[in-house]
A = this chain, B = another copy of it.
Amino acid sequence: MRRSDLERRVTLAATGSAVTLEMVAQEAGVSPSTVSRILNGTARVRESKVRAVNAAISKLQFMPNPVARSLAGGKSMSVGVVIQTLDSPFYGGALAAIEKGLMRASYSGLFVSGHWRESDERRCIDHLLSRRVEGIILVTSCLPDQEIVHLSRTVPVVLTGRSVVGERIYSVDVDSTQGARLATDYLIGQGHDRIAYIAGPVDHPDAIQRMSGYKASLAAHRIPFSKKLVSVGDYSDAGGHAAMVRLLDAGEKFTAVFAANDQSAYGAMLALYRRGVKVPQDVSVVGFDDLLTSAFTIPPLTTVHRSIDGIGECAAEAMIDLIAGRAPVAKVSSATLAIRESTRPIRA
């Protein structure tokens, strides 16, 4: 025996269950292989033995050791999830949904955050790979396409918020363009034609989509696009605030603002409030994401709603499919507009 009895006992306690498959086999009077086969359904086994083994399992309260299982079978039953930041309500929701979807297939998620930094993201991926995850879900990754394609040669990849094509890649693309279009259309429908836009980070694929939705809507309604009405934020409250301040300082007139995400909208609304500009009386504000809190801002925010849960679960399911070698079936619902109190028709 390698370890002293005491040590061993401690380890056993520390690992939860000391019951091994071998003990089950012995108890049931069959060989370990048989137990394994019953556990995994890898072969037909005589009914009587199945019963004996099941009895032994519940009697001994056996729980297969996933670590050993991974080592022997080469699969870890876990998938890595790279998220940019855990402390945003938006990503929190996505995470919760992914966890749920993964759990359902009895997979575990290893969550790590990349902080919007390519280098961090790479490190995270390495970490996950070293943990032998069976797949990686990239939630709004900031890595270049090519690198993602490369990664997909090692493990299946699911990514959200952007679209990359590849054999073992699945993009849960939420088509932000359409959502942005929806928001802008609505504003225009309410009579606004000087609509400011608070953009997301310029190099962010998702932000680019949103911007283009905004532009497309303007174009469709023959409203000229003006650079002066665009102020770049960074998807954060603070960024939205600063962007609005810049807009206000520039003195350009507008009756509505479309912010690339809810958090930017929060910041923008605060800046407006500080300058004594009333929402929605003087300026209408529309956000994007429909965070849980957005129904409770002052005033409650009109915003583009996408089912974060839906996206997360879809990503998880797609990953399970990919791992199983099946082609995932797409089915993300499109964006809708949650109309609340931060917008109103422009007065004639």
Contacts and interface: CB of A to CB of B under 8 A. Distances in A.
Given A109-B111, A237-B295, A267-B296, A17 B129 contact: yes
Contact of A154 (B13, B96, B110): B13
Contacts of A11: 74
B93 A87 contact: yes
A126 B62 CA distance: 12
A112 B93 CA distance: 13
Contacts of A86: 92-93, 95-96, 99
Majority secondary structure, A binding face: helix
A303 interface: no
Interface in A11-63: 11, 13-17, 63
Nearest to A11: B74
B113 A110 contact: no
A139 B253 CA distance: 48
A89 interface: yes
A64 B15 CA distance: 21
A96 B113 contact: yes
Interface stretch (A65-73, A208-216, A225-233): A65-73
* From A11, A13, A14, A153, residue with most partner B Cβ within 10 Å: A14
Contacts of A126: 63
A293 B292 contact: no
Contact of A273 (B65, B241, B299): B299
Nearest to A126: B63
Given A11-B74, A71-B71, A111-B111, A298 B298 contact: yes
A61 B16 CA distance: 34
Sorted nearest first, the 8 A-B pairs with minimum C-beta distance are A86-B96, A237-B296, A16-B129, A87-B92, A87-B93, A92-B92, A67-B70, A298-B298
Given A13-B153, A263-B293, A266-B297, 19 more contacts: A14-B154, A15-B74, A16-B129, A16-B154, A63-B126, A65-B132, A85-B96, A87-B93, A88-B89, A89-B89, A91-B92, A108-B131, A110-B110, A237-B292, A237-B295, A237-B296, A238-B296, A266-B293, A270-B296
